Amino acid sequence: MPMDNLLKEILHLNSVSGDESRISSYLIGQIGKRKRSWNVSPEIFFGQNFHDNIILVFGNPRTAAFAHMDTVGFTSRYENQLVPVGGPEILEGTWLQGRDQAGDIRCKLQEKDGNLFHDFPRGIQRGTLLSFEQDIKISDGYIQAAYLDNRLGMYALLKLCETLENGLIVFSTYEEHGGGSMPFLLRFIYENWGIRQALIADVTWVTDGVHLNEGAVISLRDSHIPRKRFLDRIIQKADESAVPYQLEVEAHGGSDGREIQLSPYPMDWCFIGIAEENPHTPAEKSAFFDLECMVKLYQYLMQNL
């Protein structure tokens, strides 16, 4: 699975949490073009009533797969200060970019006494969103770039769309900062299709037990714990699929799964994603082999779960 134009293009779109309208519009355009070549043409829900979220319904869905579209970043405050959106790694000298009413912005991140600043020569309008400058590097089966979290999850689900017969795909907002679009999305998909199984297509960290090039990651827990009965079924199906995968066990961290756990619907959930190094930096790094495994595992599970 080499780099393709779709992945490249979505890696160049900014979408700091709260400001996902551009990537959402781009995605709707792509879906419109691509769906003619998909095995099944989905019903599409989006627009003002959906607050930049996108829902695709294929056939008779039993399981929903979620990928968030937003990224970490910064909000400009007063006196050249910046405030984090989500949890970006704070690396002195990181290039940031964005745009306010006075024009394009390119500046460096600076930290003094625990406070964050930019070095842009002019003031930046209050509330302007900045994010990492993109710099994609491909080599030897690896991709290194900003925003792999969660462009890789979005990309995997778009690949899944090509062959999906029955299933529900959701591109969501606000995952990196406070959440809040999931409750609405869950209500919509539960009330309309009675969805009771959910998979979270997102990026996780390389650790002692999770490594690059060792397959998709099935998370048995993070700060929240999925129901054991559902995990057992997923592992059984993953074994049947013969797709390489790794099992993750973490004490901390979270995903959109948290909001499914807390929802007023009896919906099981599990995180199935891809590992990366250097999370929430401009140089997140993942392996194409793992991305391929992730796509194949989703193809199998959406069909067989």
- Closest contact distance (angstroms) between CB of 254 and its own copies is 10
Find the shortest distance in angstroms from Cβ 20 to its own copies: 9
Q: What is the footprint of its own copies within residues 195-254 (CB under 8 A)?
A: 207-209, 220-221, 223-229, 231, 247, 249-251
Listed ranges 78-86, 154-162, 237-245, 293-301: which one lies at the site for its own copies (CB under 8 A): 78-86
Taking CB under 8 A as the criterion, the residue among 7, 64, 96, 129 binding its own copies is 129
Pairing of strands 268-276, 203-205: parallel
Cα separation, 73 vs 89, in Å, equals 10
Q: How far is the CB of 174 from its own copies (least distance, A)?
A: 8
For its own copies, which residue of 149, 268, 276, 292 counts as binding (CB under 8 A)?
268
Asked if 35 touches its own copies (CB under 8 A), the answer is no
Of the ranges 57-65, 157-165, 263-271, 272-280, which one interacts with its own copies (CB under 8 A)? 263-271
Q: Which stretch binds its own copies (CB under 8 A): 25-33, 83-91, 140-148, 149-157?
A: 83-91
Total binding residues toward its own copies, as defined by CB under 8 A: 54
> Which residues contact its own copies by CB under 8 A?
17-19, 21, 49-52, 75-79, 81, 83-85, 126-127, 129, 174, 177-180, 183-184, 186-187, 207-209, 220-221, 223-229, 231, 247, 249-251, 258, 261-266, 268
